[in-house]
Structures are given as structure tokens and as C-alpha cells.
Amino acid sequence: MDWYPWGEEAFQKARQEDKPVLLSIGYSSCHWCHVMERESFENEETARLMNGSFVNIKVDREERPDLDHIYMEAVQSMTGQGGWPLTVFLTPQGDPFFGGTYFPPREAPGLPAFPTVLKAVAAAYRSRKDEIRKSAEAVRGHLEQSSYQKPAPGALSLDVLTGAYRAVAGSFDQENGGFGPAPKFPQPMVLEFLLRHHHRTGDPAALGMVERSLDRMARGGLFDQLGGGFHRYSTDAVWLVPHFEKMLYDNALLSSVYLHAYQAMGKAFYREVVVETLDYVLRDMTSPEGGFFSAQDADSEGEEGKYYLWTPEEVQSAAGPELAPLVLSYYGVTAQGNYEGKSVLHVTRDLDTAAREQNTDVATAAGRLKEARSRLLAFRQGRVPPGRDEKVLAGWNGLMLAGLAEAGRALREERYVTAAEKCASFLLQTLWKNGEPGIRGVGGVAHGFSLARRGLLRTYAEGQSKIPAFLEDYSSLAAGLLALYEATLESRWLAAVMEMAPVIVADFWDDSQGVFFDAAGTAESLVVRPRNIFDNALPSGSSQAAWLLLRLGLLTGEQQYAKIAVRAMSPMVPYLTQHPLGFGHWLGALDFHLGRPFEVALAGRRGDPRTQDLLQVIHDRYVPNKVIAARDDATPPEIAGLPLLEGRGMVGGVPTAYVCQAYRCLEPSTTPDHLAARLSGVVAAGL
């Protein structure tokens, strides 16, 4: 099979030989991508058809989200549906004219055989080029309209948040948690919005939706009950049987929402979920250099979920006769199974019920269950593990940085902060290229420091960094670095954010249209310039950029940042009220903008335990709409000179915290108790 990477070489060959291009887009942990690879691409006769009639290009959607977005939208416009593997036929100029997703090797109900599709497309290209040209022009027109479409700006008011909340509540599954029917996705950004709504309004129903969802997800098969971490989504409405792949971004976003729920509710179970999830990432998804790998497959030994499934006999063998009965009852392992004759572990009863059934007390049952889980995990580690995609992606690592930094600080788990610092150093060394350190403002030069142009790369694997970064990479990595700064008060992380922010504005913001694009204006020319505004499994690059710039505007005093963010949010208003489940992170950004955000300035040596005690007070509680800045004698002047920090020093030589809004500050605090009271008052009533 002759595969080409995306690039001019393939399209030049297509033009020279007058052949259409067959573009296959997938990703390493995609089950049906592997199926189509085995069934069709590795079949000699099918490969002969492909090589003879097409120039074949294979693309990893996770490396090239711009191509995935463009051609997924094209296929959806042509067929009404999409998915992966994405199979698209292009003209030699790159215009799509026909496509689909998975095609079987032989005809199946509702699906033509892939060889039949290949022959039909090749024949049509030879004999009906005018029709194909017209079809491609129509699809291109649709893509252009979609990419540049922008509703009339709407008012950014609390009514928008209220309307979105009502719509979200209307989609809530009262029995099982989550939203809508199967397949069911975790929707962590929507849950974050509900936490924010409760924080702002005190509405207990919003907190109830969060609690029901988080409880059911963590007790179900969606959560790996032995190894920690979450699978991609549930194939049913009750969170029992997952699609078994594990993605870095899911575990980053879910660890964050469980942490925030723990801060808001104090529920120890949520702390356990955070710890087990982050420990899974550190154990199974971390490179020796410190970066975080992208994904683990759903399949092992060619079978989906095989690594995670159990029979009663396997439980008996792994746990031993004394502990096996507790495992079988607590995790619902039966002879019949709940997935293809085997069992997905899920919590079927409360621990006190399980203890009574075992004629013991809760503490003893908890200890036995912990020992049993350890034995089962060791047994499972002897199986053939799922494949792991070991590429490191800038944006996804940024999300994980934020999760680790916040959790490490809030939970007093230093190993998470250490892992975040190691990752941040690795990313800046390997992916942040070209130029000398410095600080640049929106207009090019600010704070008296010049910046040679620097550029971020998206992916690192096998010692090689490549692919110019997209908006999601810049904005998510910068957001992760900002979280790391707020957790550690180490200036270099904020300095890196202040370098990246002007590049975001210069390369991705279109001031004439008032929108962000996903690819830089200097990127390669594609069918259209990609622009994806939806918060799906990941925050959209646009919503993440808006959220970041709002915070930076408050933190640095660069008012232009906040103005750009507001302009970007304004056209989103109709979407936020009509389709809030697809815009959870946008809603969080709007809540920040409208939620009377405040600033905390800390003055004191970073290594002084008294400074750290003040910082800990800030991180102990759920206070989403805040920014933190700090300075001491070692703080570089470009940060020490931020408006928030000007004139705010230690009182009586003691580390001091200032709680401010629009740089107007309350009486300074020099003790943790005084600061806690100040924060409680601000949260309750504002300044």
C-alpha cells in the first residue's frame, strides 16, 4: 500500500497523473480505523485498486486537527454524518467531492463494499469530470460559508447564562446523570459551567446535577476501577460499558472538574477520583522526558476491551478465595457478564452494604477491597496491554498541566506539581522554537522588552518536533502554564504565557471579522482557513483563547486582551443559549467575564512558608473567577511592574496578600485566617 503524507508531493503526483486523491483520516486509538486497516488497506487486491487509481494520503487527525475539521465538515455536508476513519475523495487541487467513514470489505446493510466504492469513484473521475468539478465547487462553497459565518453580535448579559442553564437542565438525565441518551459522553466543560452557576447563584439544583453525574460516572465502567483514569465515553446511558480507549484530554478535563467539585462540596470520594486519575497519568501516560502521551487504544490482542474485562474465575485466581467474594459482589462480576460474556468492573453497592454482606465492618471491608484491587491490578498488568500513542501534543499537555498544577496545590500533593513543572520545562525546550526570551505586548513591544519572533510546534515523538501549532495549542498550553504559575508563583511560567499571548493575537485573531481562526494566517493554504467554534471533547481554540485573554487582561493590565475576548464572545450568544451543551467552555469564559472576577496580589519571598500558607488559602476553596500574581526580590521587572503588583509590598516585613477588584484593594492580609475571611466576603458579596 503506497501511502503519502499530506503535502505537495502527493498533490503534484495527482496533478501529473490526473488521479483523484484518496484521503484517509484516523487516529491511533480508533477501533474502526484499525478494522478498516486490517480488512481493506492490508488486502492485496484492495491495495492494488487504491494504488492504481488514486494517490493515497494518510493523516493523523490528532496531528492535523485543521485537516480533520475541514474534511469532516465536507463529508457531513455530503452525507449527513461523520466519524472515523474518515474516507474522502479529493480533486488534485484538494477539493472534496465524495466521502464517507468506514467502508466494509464486502457489502453490508446500508454500506457499500469498499472495492465497489473505489471502482465507482475512479470511473466517475474518468468519465464525469464536469459533475465532479461542480460537486467539489458546491462543497467548497459550503465550507467557505461555514468558516466565515458569524451571527450578529449579542449582548453579553446574565440572561445568556440563565438561558443556557435552563437548556442544560432540560437535557439532564435525572436518573443516571449526564446529558441525553446513549452513547453518553462525560461533558466535563458543561459540568464546570454548572459548578460556576451554583457558585454564582447558589442554585442547589445545579450542584445536584454535577453530583449525580460525577457519582455515576466514577462508579460506572467509564472509570477504570483498578488502574484509575476514564475511558472515552459510555456506549449506554448508565455509564456501564465504555468505549475502552483512554484519551489524555478526557483525563485532564475530568480530573479538573472532580477537583473543583471536591473544593466546592468537600466530598472525599471526589478527591480519591482525582488522585487515582492523576496517578494513572503519571504511571501509564508519562514519557521519561516529562511529556504526556496522547492515548491508549481500546483494543488489545485485536479485541476491544479485552485488557479490562473479568470472569469470576479470573477474579478468584487474582484476588484469592478470601477476597474474591467481596470483589465479585462489589464490582458486579458474574458468570453471564455484562459485555460479551465477561464483566466490566463497576460499583454496584455502597461499601457499608458490601461490608454487611461480608459480615464485617466498613473499615475492614475498605482495607480488604484495597488489597483486592492491588492484586487484581497486578494480575491485569500481566496481560497484553492496549497500544499506546506516544506522541506528545502541545495543547493536550497544556490541559494536563493545568489539572496537575491545580490538584497538586489544592490537595497538597507535591508530586503533581513536580510532574507539571517537568512537563512544562520539556515542552518549552522542545516545542517553543526560534527566538530569544523576552516579553512582548499586544502592540509588539511592551514593558521595555523586545521579543524576536517565536513559534510553537504541535507535536513531539521519537525525538522529533514538528507541525506548526494551532490556536488550541497556544491557548491551552498558555492556560496550563498560567495555572502552573498560580500554583507555584514561579515567574518563568508567567513570562512564557506573556510571550505566547501576543502571538495568539497576531497569528490567529482576525480583527476585521472579529473572530479567531484555528490555523495561523501564515499557515499553508487549504480549501478554507479552518475555524471550529464548538467545545466538543476539547475546548475549542477560540473559547480557550477568549478565556485566557480575559484572565491576562486582568492580570497584566493589557486592556486590549479583554477587548478582543469580548469581541470574540459576542457573536457566540445565539449558540450559547440555543445549543449550550456544545459550548461549555465558552459559557465558562462568559461566566468569568460577568462574574465580578477579582485579583489576589501576594508580596513575599516565594520560599517563605508564610507566603506559601497564604497561597494555600486561595487554593483550598472553589473560587473560579480570580487571578493570582506575586512578587519578591527575585521577580523579574517585567512581572514585578504589572499594575496589580505596583505599590503592594509586604506589611511590616511579613508576607502579605491583597484582595482586589479592578485594582481596588481591601485591607491587606498577613495571616491565613484574615485572608480566608477576606476571600469569603468577596465571594459572597464582591468588593
DSSP 387: P
Q: What is the mean pLDDT of residues 99-109?
A: 93
- Torsions phi, psi of 92, nearest 5? -60, -10
Residue 6 main-chain phi, psi, to 5 deg: -65, 130
Question: How far is the first Cα of the chain from the last one, in angstroms, to the nearest whole number?
Answer: 66
pLDDT above 90 as % of the chain: 88
Grid cell locating 22: 484518496
In tens, the pLDDT along 135-168 reads 999 999 989 888 777 777 889 999 999 999 999 9
Q: Which residues contact 632 (CB under 8 A, 6 or more apart)?
A: 603, 604, 605, 606, 611
Torsion of CA 513, 519, 524, 526, to 10 degrees: -70
Start and end residues for every CATH 3.40.30.10 domain found in the chain: 3-148, 596-687
- pLDDT recorded at residue 454: 63
> Cα–Cα distance between 86 and 93 in angstroms, integer?
19
Spatial CA neighbour of 123 closest among 51, 265, 19 = 19
Q: Which three cell numbers stand for residue 663?
A: 485594582
- Note the pLDDT tens digit of each residue in 13-27: 999 999 999 999 999
Which CATH code is given to the segment(s) 3-148? 3.40.30.10
Residue 684 has a pLDDT of 62
Mean pLDDT of 275-301: 97
The DSSP call for residue 231 is -
| Angle 202-206-211 from CA coordinates, rounded to 5° | 115
Mean predicted lDDT score pLDDT of the chain: 93
Tell me, what's the pLDDT at 674?
96
What pLDDT, on a 0 to 100 scale, did the predictor assign at position 506?
Answer: 96
Which grid cell sits at 101? 467513514
pLDDT band at residue 463 under the 50/70/90 scheme: very high
pLDDT at 152: 79
Domain 596-687 class? alpha beta
CA distance 221 to 645: 48
